[in-house]
Amino acid sequence: MADDLGVGDLCCYGNNTVSTPNIDRLANEGVRLTQHLSAASVCTPSRAAFLTGRYPIRSGMASRFNLNRELTWLGGSGGLPTNETTFATLLQHRGYRTGLIGKWHQGLSCASRDDHCYHPLNHGFDYFYGLPFGLISDCQTSKTPELHRWIRIKLWISTVVLSLVPLLLLIPKFARWFAVPWKVILTFALLAFLFFISWYSSYGFTRRWNCILMRNDDIIQQPMQEERVASLLLKEALAFIDRYKRSPFLLFVSFLQVHTPLITKEKFVGHSKYGLYGDNVEEMDWMVGKILETLDQERLANHTLVYFTSDNGGRLEVQEGEVKLGGFNGIYKGGKGMGGWEGGIRVPGIFRWPTVLEAGKVIDEPTSLMDIYPTLSYIGGGILPQDRVIDGRNLMPLLEGRVSHSEHEFLFHYCGVYLHTARWHQKDCATVWKVHYVTPKFSPDGADACYGSGICSCSGDVTYHDPPLLFDISRDPSEAQPLNPDNEALFDSVVKKIEAAIKEHRRTLTPVPQQFSVFNTLWKPWLQPCCGTFPFCGCDKEDDVLSTAR
């Protein structure tokens, strides 16, 4: 799974400026899905849905707020609930050795620093090596901070203003205009200091608090050495395959590419025609190639299902000056953070299983990242949980050609907890209708994304549509020509059909604890993972291992 990779970033999906021969090889030797969809347009909820086969709103992994739509602190108390069952758990129960290498971003601890209730090891993985959070620009000291950047600016301004108060009170005191008690001056100075400490203790050390490398429950690097981490992850992935090559295994390689700050090995810098972003894509493709090469060398290729995807679409707003640092979503409108537009949710979907799946096959049917859950359960001989709604569908009949249509008649596209869009795939024909009830307001006017705010809102600064916007995705995949009762005779009947499906879908939702509540998303010192004695956290055990090896 790539991080923020646009569907148009790969050659096998039409890109001609970036070289991705290894991922293209997967597509040529397997099945390529052209209407593969994530259940959310940002990382944390999309990955929660991928792991559980359920819309993130069912597990409380969807946010009511525009500010924190993803988990923002390792020292927060939200995460993938312990009562959720991941596909790793299903396969673990069937005798598979399960490993996660790379990004997790599903929370870490609930009540104490070391309880690790949301840790991968408590969600079905036998082995974890990687980032419990993920890669953000704050992880690289030379980059502009990414986490809550505008809030930080406001906090600095507020701190300066508060600090000026005691200084200004000194003027009338020393000018002898009127007496200002020292108690008053010192009280204001103390308030300014406490205000500064209250926010700087978290935001001032974002790299140290969030950019951590772990092996199982142990912190290996704090902060992580970002320039080395990709090599370490690849080494661990290949070692996992070598350890368990003689038994059934599930390996989830969760790449850091292509999330900013686009940390790229020197040998790939300047390699592509698309700048640093393209270089980062090509480095990821090289890593995919190394994994495939290992499967070939160990003669595992014919017995191994390989799946490649991204957690959501490419982000359009991220740039450095005039240089774009985000992905390309092909002909599809919108990008990461946009609840319903195709560019934010349509992702690559490639399956290779040489002895089972037909090589070079292309399927243009609506499918979802949530489908991986029941698909892996079917392949591994597992039993799906019967005490909850599973929104994914087993893809094997479609991939093998035993059926020609996806089992998904309706798919619902949320932005946080807000339903923005719904899709209807007519059973009796190939038509796919899509209605938008809410769309983000792009800024500035005439732009193709929310450059003013950095990411689009789910509520508030949005446009509500009544009647909804209607598109025939099968004829207009770029959503350029909205239909209306004047140019589409079926407009009213299609809208009514989808509204009935939404009503039925909402009946299946039950109240659950909100993992993105204000309290859960606050940084809590007592939950902050720490290598050493808090707050003096820091270590590099990988260096210790290397020194011993030498």
Q: What is the pLDDT of residues 42-88, one digit of tens each?
A: 999 999 999 999 999 999 999 999 999 999 999 999 999 999 999 99
Give the pLDDT of residue 247.
96
Greatest extent of the chain over all pairs of C-alpha atoms, in Å = 92
Q: Is 105 marked active-site?
A: yes
Catalytic-role residue among 105, 116, 123, 420: 105
For residues 258, 261, 263, 266, the Cα torsion angle rounded to the nearest 10 degrees is 110
For residues 481, 484, 487, 492, the Cα torsion angle rounded to the nearest 10 degrees is 130
Catalytic-role residue among 12, 36, 43, 531: 43
Which residues of the chain fall below pLDDT 70? 543-550
55 with 49: CB under 8 angstroms?
Answer: yes
Give the pLDDT of residue 550.
37
Give the pLDDT of residue 143.
86
Round to whole Å and give the CA distance between 468 and 437. 5
Round to whole Å and give the CA distance between 173 and 127. 65
Q: Degrees (nearest 5) of the Cα angle 239, 357, 234?
A: 20
Q: Is 43 marked active-site?
A: yes
Give the pLDDT of residue 172.
87
Extents of the domains making up the chain: 11-135+211-408+513-527, 149-206
Give the pLDDT of residue 548.
41
- Looking at CATH, the fold of the domain delimited by 11-135+211-408+513-527 is given as Alkaline Phosphatase, subunit A (3.40.720)
Give the pLDDT of residue 347.
98
